[in-house]
């Protein structure tokens, strides 16, 4: 349930106008255990309490104004944090910005998630969390700032289209990027695709050659400065009512070298059983380095949620991931489980 309060901003105080601010948020806390086994059969077990097994702790403020003639402006500030520890820094996240909407569509200025992230997230029945067992994130790019996006008015029923551009924020990160997202929904069927193209400076960026697993960090190699990188994503889901099936594919080519590429796939299902919803996903990814060596990884994630109310649920999760090197040797494995509680407001 969203809570609403009436606040008077500095400008509003001078004009006598009042702004209605809506506050909403999400808290996810879980007790997690992660077990990592390296290629040398060394095993590490880490226990932790924290968020992001299902979603990130978030707090959002938003306000809107009717400008007349069918126009409306909405301002939002979205923060993410870790409520478990005092060291968890608060940071602005996607959704922080301004949206101007009308019959011509809508224009968004601020922070957001790219077309690849948004498309790939819809293919994961378990919630696109960060726990062990999900590797279908090739080329998703995560969040971005310093960006503008335009959503076209709906001309064909069920079809939506958004184009976005970010000129890049710092000289040592990713440079300009442009993406396009299309989605079509008809009955229980949803089709989505995303495309992104950007420039890398080659300074603070790197191409993943061996993905991370469990508590083991990923290995990367340099990307050619000024090289163009492209990513594509495709998703199909169908809701039968008694169950919903998911499928997706991501592709990434980067670094100016045709051999620096990666792809990932996912398929899964979710089904409700009274107050319980069970979701199962299988995913895999393959990475090809500039020297044409390849690394592949496969994963499984299972999540069961019990609805305590419309805004609160308890859950358990379990995931596994295994790694295979280009030589055919096993590169290590990981498993993780957690039990948690979430609340949205």
All domains of the chain, ordered by start, with CATH? 35-51+105-344 (2.40.160.10)
pTM of the model: 0.86
Alpha-carbon distance of 300 to 8, in angstroms, equals 49
**Continuous segment of H or E residues that includes residue 322:** strand 312-324
Adjacent-strand bridge partners of 229:
198
pLDDT score for 280: 97
CB 266 within 8 A of CB 136: yes
Helix (H, G, I), strand (E, B) or coil at 15: helix
pLDDT tens digits along 166-208: 876 554 444 578 889 999 999 999 999 999 888 765 444 678 8
For residue 5, what are the β-bridge partners?
21
Q: What percent of the chain has pLDDT over 70?
A: 86
Residue 277 in contact with residue 268, Cβ under 8 Å? Answer: no
Question: How do strand 159-166 and strand 143-151 relate by DSSP bridges?
Answer: antiparallel
Cα(51)–Cα(58) distance, rounded to whole angstroms?
10
Residue 4: the pLDDT is 47
Which has the closest alpha carbon to 68: 102, 95, 36? 102
Please say whether the beta carbons of 323 and 332 come within 8 A: yes
For residue 215, the model assigns a pLDDT of 87
The pLDDT score that the predictor gives to residue 145 is: 67
8-state DSSP, 213: B
Distance between CA 222 and CA 53 in Å, rounded? 30
Q: Which residues pair with 210 in a beta bridge?
A: 219
- List, as one string, the DSSP characters of 159-209: EEEEEEEE--S-TTSEEEEEEEEEEEEETTEEEEEEEEEEEE-SSS-EEEE
In this structure, are strands 97-102 and 91-92 parallel, antiparallel, or unpaired?
Answer: unpaired
The position carrying tokens 């949803």 is 190
Residue that the structure tokens 């569509």 belong to = 105
Give me the phi and psi of 14, to 5 degrees please: -75, -30
Q: Which two tokens stand for residue 259?
A: 């051999």
Is 60 in contact with 95 (CB distance < 8 Å)? yes
What's the mean pLDDT in 39-48?
Answer: 92
- pLDDT tens-digit profile of 50-75? 876 777 888 999 999 999 999 999 99
Query: Cα–Cα distance between 269 and 246 in angstroms, integer?
Result: 6
Q: Is residue 122 within 8 Å of residue 266, measured between CB atoms?
A: no
Higher pLDDT, 7 or 222: 222
Query: What tens digit of pLDDT does each residue of 210-229 get?
Result: 888 888 888 888 887 777 78
- Calpha distance 208→289 (Å, rounded): 8
Across the chain, how many H-helices and E-strands are there?
Answer: 2, 21
C-alpha–C-alpha distance, residues 9 and 65, integer Å: 14
- pLDDT tens, position by position, 285-294: 999 998 888 9
Provide CB contacts within 8 A for 269, sequence distance 6+. 125, 243, 244, 245, 246, 279, 280
- Do the strands 228-239 and 219-222 form a parallel or antiparallel pair, or are they unpaired? unpaired
Predicted local distance difference test score (pLDDT) of residue 343: 95
């Amino acid at each position: 349930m969203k809570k609403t309060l009436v606040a008077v901003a500095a400008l509003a105080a001078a004009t006598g106008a009042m702004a209605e601010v809506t506050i909403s948020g999400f808290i996810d806390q879980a007790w997690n255990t992660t077990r990592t086994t390296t290629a040398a059969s060394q095993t590490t077990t880490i226990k932790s309490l924290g968020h992001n097994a299902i979603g990130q702790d978030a707090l959002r403020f938003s306000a809107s104004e009717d400008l007349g003639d069918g126009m409306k402006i909405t301002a939002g500030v979205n923060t993410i944090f870790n409520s478990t520890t005092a060291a968890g820094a608060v940071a602005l996240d996607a959704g922080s910005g301004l949206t101007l909407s009308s019959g011509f569509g809508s224009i968004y200025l601020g922070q957001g998630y790219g077309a690849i992230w948004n498309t790939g997230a819809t293919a994961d029945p378990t919630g696109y969390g960060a726990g062990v067992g999900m590797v279908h994130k090739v080329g998703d790019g995560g969040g971005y700032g310093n960006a503008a996006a335009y959503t076209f008015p709906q001309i064909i029923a069920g079809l939506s289209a958004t184009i976005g551009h970010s000129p890049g924020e710092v000289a040592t990160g990713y440079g300009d990027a442009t993406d396009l997202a299309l989605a079509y929904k008809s009955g229980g069927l949803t089709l989505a695709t995303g495309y992104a193209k950007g420039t890398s400076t080659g300074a603070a960026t790197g191409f993943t050659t061996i993905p991370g697993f469990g508590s083991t960090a990923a290995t990367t190699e340099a990307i050619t400065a000024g090289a163009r990188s492209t990513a594509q994503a495709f998703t199909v889901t169908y809701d039968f009512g008694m169950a919903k099936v998911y499928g997706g594919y991501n592709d990434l080519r980067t670094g100016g070298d045709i051999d620096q590429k990666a792809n990932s796939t996912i398929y899964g299902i979710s089904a409700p059983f009274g107050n319980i919803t069970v979701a199962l996903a299988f995913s895999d990814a393959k990475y090809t380095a500039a020297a044409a060596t390849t690394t592949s990884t496969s994963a499984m994630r299972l999540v069961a949620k019990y609805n305590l109310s419309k805004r609160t649920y308890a859950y358990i999760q379990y995931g596994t991931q295994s790694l295979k090197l280009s030589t055919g040797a096993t590169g290590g494995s990981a498993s993780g489980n957690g039990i948690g509680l979430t609340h949205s407001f």
